[in-house]
Amino acid sequence: MLRILILSALMIAAPTFAGEKAIIGQTAQMSVSEVGLTYEARIDTGAGNTSIHAFDLEVEGGSAKNMKDNVGKTIWFTTENRTGESKRLSATIVKTSTVSNSQGTETRYMVSLKIGKKGDERKVKVNLRDRSHMDYKLLIGRNWLKGKYIVDVADKQLIGPVAPISIVETGLLFNTRIDTGAVENSLHAVDLKVENGVDDMEKNVGKMLFFTTENEQGKQHRVHARIVETSLIRNAQGSEIRYMVELQVGELGKEYKVKVNLRDRSKMTHKLLIGRNWLQGHYMVDVSL
């Protein structure tokens, strides 16, 4: 459920407060005490856990074949911030975390680190991931935000990390992931057919596109929309180009037109992901809702 939040003076550079919770922007300067480095962090309500760039991982005394059997052992790793400053450090493996994305699943080690504004860090579980292909070497997830912060990519209304969102053109309601880490909205789409299409995706901009989408309840709809542009999406696995269309997206009865990229999300729990291009100027995200 959405609530209206009125703020008299919204400052994104430093957290302000809504009730007992601080408001934080879509990026923030974060310190990691054990590392002694400062990171420009992406604030990502789409991520359950916080993640730090880590490579050259080595389990002290040798690694067991099953990653879970290494819990309790010491792990050495190297981390680096956006400016190229690096440090090698060790920490105790406190658990493993299985992360799902469009490429499948992977298991990562988790350690406890003190993260926050310099001088105000607090301990949280962090997964170790090679983020060398990502712009942000530290990603702040819901486990750091929950109960303490509201994420504001502009201002105005308040929304939780998952919300029922309607797309008028589909006649469907989606159990939607609200993801401040994503620039764009992304909709599950398969069986894409471009009218008079060619292999060069850029040359199909302006043409009509048919695609089939499906919500989390398995209800399907065939959609006909115009390709307005293509979008280059980068993630840890590399990059890909996706078609973008304009659709009416929002709370039921309060939809407004926004660009949406089309992606096969059949392996993902949420078939619609809401990014900053829908949130900007309209919503703040409270992962405790």
Write out pLDDT tens, residues 100-133: 766 678 899 999 999 998 888 999 999 999 999 8
94 and 163 housed in the same domain: no
For the record, the structure tokens of 238 come out as 């590399």
Among the residue ranges 2-11, 185-194, 228-237, 262-271, the one predicted with the least confidence is 2-11
Same domain, 63 and 137: yes
236 close to 142: Cβ distance less than 8 angstroms: no
Neighbour count for residue 5 (Cβ, 10 Å) = 18
Residues 128 and 208 reside in one and the same domain: no
The answer on pLDDT for 19 being more than 80 is no
Q: What mean pLDDT comes out for the span 265-289?
A: 91
What integer is the mean pLDDT of 205-218? 98
Is position 2 within any domain? no
Residue at 277 is within a domain: yes
Q: What is the mean pLDDT of residues 138-167?
A: 89
Distance CA 276, CA 44 (A): 10
What does the pLDDT read at residue 158? 85
- Do 27 and 144 lie in one domain? The reply is yes
Whether 160 shows a pLDDT value over 80: the answer reads yes
Is the confidence at residue 2, as pLDDT, over 90? no
The mean per-residue pLDDT over the stretch 204-221 comes to: 98
Mean pLDDT of the chain: 89
> Which residue, of 117, 152, 187, is where some domain finishes?
152
**What is the pairing mode between strands 37-43 and 138-140?**
parallel
User: Is residue 23 very low, low, confident or very high in pLDDT (cuts 50, 70, 90)?
Assistant: confident
Interatomic CA distance for residues 137 and 90, integer angstroms: 18
33-69: burial string, b at 16+ Cβ within 10 Å, e else: ebbebbbebbbbbbbbbbbbbbeebebeeeeeeebee
Query: Do residues 277 and 185 touch, judged by C-beta distance below 8 A?
Result: yes
Same domain for 133 and 173?
no
Residue 168 in domain: yes
Q: Which of 152, 181, 196 is the last residue of a domain?
A: 152
Check whether residue 227 and residue 192 sit in a common domain. yes
Which structural domain, as residue segments, surrounds residue 55? 7-152
Domain edge (last residue) among 152, 185, 216: 152
Higher pLDDT, 20 or 35: 35
Q: So what's the pLDDT on residue 104?
A: 73
Q: What is the pLDDT of residue 280?
A: 85
Please tell me the predicted confidence (pLDDT) of residue 110.
98
- The answer to whether residue 1 is domain-embedded is no
Residue 266, pLDDT > 70, answer: yes
Assess whether 175 and 282 both reside in one domain: yes
Q: Do the domain assignments include residue 116?
A: yes
| CATH number (domain holding residue 139) | 2.40.70.10
Tens digit of pLDDT for each residue in 70-91? 999 999 999 999 999 999 999 9
pLDDT > 80? residue 7: no
Cα end-to-end distance, the chain, whole Å: 8
Are residues 256 and 282 located together in one domain of the fold?
yes
pLDDT over 80 at 154, yes or no: no
Q: Are residues 109 and 162 in the same domain?
A: no
Cβ–Cβ < 8 Å for 169, 208 = no
The answer to whether 134 touches 54, Cβ cutoff 8 Å, is: no
Give pLDDT tens digits for 56-65. Answer: 999 999 999 9
Cβ–Cβ under 8 Å, residues 149 and 22: yes
Residue with tokens 């480095």: 37
Q: Please state the separation of Cα 172 from the chain's center in Å.
A: 23
Of residues 154 and 243, more confidence is placed in: 243
State the DSSP H helix or E strand holding residue 192, giving kind and residue range, or none if neither.
Answer: strand 190-194
- Do 141 and 208 lie in one domain? The reply is no
Indicate whether 123 belongs to any domain. Answer: yes
Q: Are residues 99 and 135 in the same domain?
A: yes
Indicate if 173 and 50 belong to the same structural domain.
Answer: no
The number of folded domains in the chain is 2
pTM above 0.85, yes or no: no
Looking at residues 25-51, what average pLDDT do you find?
94
What pLDDT, on a 0 to 100 scale, did the predictor assign at position 87?
Answer: 97
